[in-house]
Structure 1
Amino acid sequence: MKLAISTENNQVAGHFGRCAEYTIAEIIDNEVISKETIENPGHQPGFLPGFLADKGVNCIISGGMGRKAANLFAESNIETVVGVKGNIDNVIDKFLSNDLDASNDLCDH
C-alpha cells in the first residue's frame, strides 16, 4: 500500500491540491518500508489522481479536498481520508494502528 499525504512544514496540509508537497509512504505488512517527500507538481483539474496513481498510491490523507477531486480519486480506485491534522510521522503511526482521527473536511471551498 502507498499513502500520499498532503504536506506543509511536516504537517498535514489543509488542502490536498494546493499543498507544497506530498509525503509518499510505502507500507508492507503494517510497516513503513520507504518514505519520500515530493514537490506538488501543480494544481491542475484532474491531473493529480493520474499522477499519484502512476506512483502506485492507493490512499490519500489530507486536511481537505474538493468534492470533484474526491470523485476523481474514487474513479482511480484511490481511497481518500480527509479531516486529518497533525505531524506526518504521527499521522502515519495512527494510520498503521487504525487510530487515525479523520473528522470533517477542513477544505473551505
Structure 2
Amino acid sequence: MKVMIAADRGVVCPHFGHAPEFRLVEIDGSKVVKEEIYTNPGHAPGVLPRWMKDLDVDIVIAGDMGPRARDLFASFGITVQTCDPMSVDSALEAFIKGNLSGSSNSCHHGKEHSADTACNGHHEA
C-alpha cells in the first residue's frame, strides 16, 4: 500500500494543496518498506490528484482539502484521510495502527494565505 502524506516542516500540512512537500510511504502489513520525499509539483486544479494517481498512491493523508480534490481522488480510487495537526511520523504510526482520526477542521482560502507559504503559518500547532 502506498500512502502519501502532505507535509510542512515535518508536520501534516493542514492545507493539502499548499504542502511544500509530500512524503510517500510504502507499507507492507504494518511495516514501512520504502519512503520518498517529493516537492510539491504545483498547486493548480487537478494537478496533485493526477500526479498521485501516476505514482500509484492508495491513500492521501492531509489536514484537509477542497471538494474538487476529494472528488478527483475518489474518481481515481484513492482514499482521503484527514487528521488533526500532528507530526508526519505520528500520523503515519497512527494510520498503521488504525488509530488516525479525521479532523473537523476546514481550511478556507482567505487573506492569511499567500502564494509563497504553505498556509502562511496560521495553522501551526
TM-score, length of structure 2 as denominator length? 0.82
Q: In the aligned structure 2, how far is the partner of 1:27 from the partner of 1:58? A: 11
Question: 1:84, CA displacement in angstroms?
Answer: 3.1
Q: Which residue of 1 aligns with 2:77?
A: 77
1:84 maps to amino acid: D
Q: Offset of 1:103 from its aligned partner? A: 1.9
Report Cα offsets for 1:5-35 as digits up to 9, x if no partner: 1100000001111110001100012211011
Q: Return the index of the structure with the highest Cα Rg.
A: 2
C-alpha RMSD of matched pairs (Å): 1.1
Paired residues in the alignment total 109
CA distance in 2, matches of 1:49, 1:84: 21
Q: Deviations over 1:61-99 (max 9, x none)?
A: 000100111001100000001133211111111001011
1:7 aligns with 2:18: no
Q: Which residue of 2 aligns with 1:91?
A: 91
Gaps of 5+ in 2: 110-125
| Contact kept? 2:83, 2:100, Cα under 8 Å | no
CA distance in 1, matches of 2:106, 2:20: 17
Moved over 6 A (4+): none
TM-score under structure 1 length normalisation:
0.94
Offset, 1:105: 3.8
Q: Identity over the aligned pairs, expressed in percent?
A: 34
d(CA) in 2 for partners of 1:45, 1:55: 18
**Take 1:96 and 1:84, find their aligned partners in 2: how far apart are those partners?**
16
1:31 maps to 31
Mapped partners of 1:82, 1:14: distance in 2: 9
Separation in structure 1 between the aligned mates of residue 100 and residue 54 of structure 2, nearest angstrom: 25
Q: Is the 8 A contact 1:82 1:106 kept in 2?
A: no
Residue matched to 1:108: 108
Shift of 1:56: 1.3
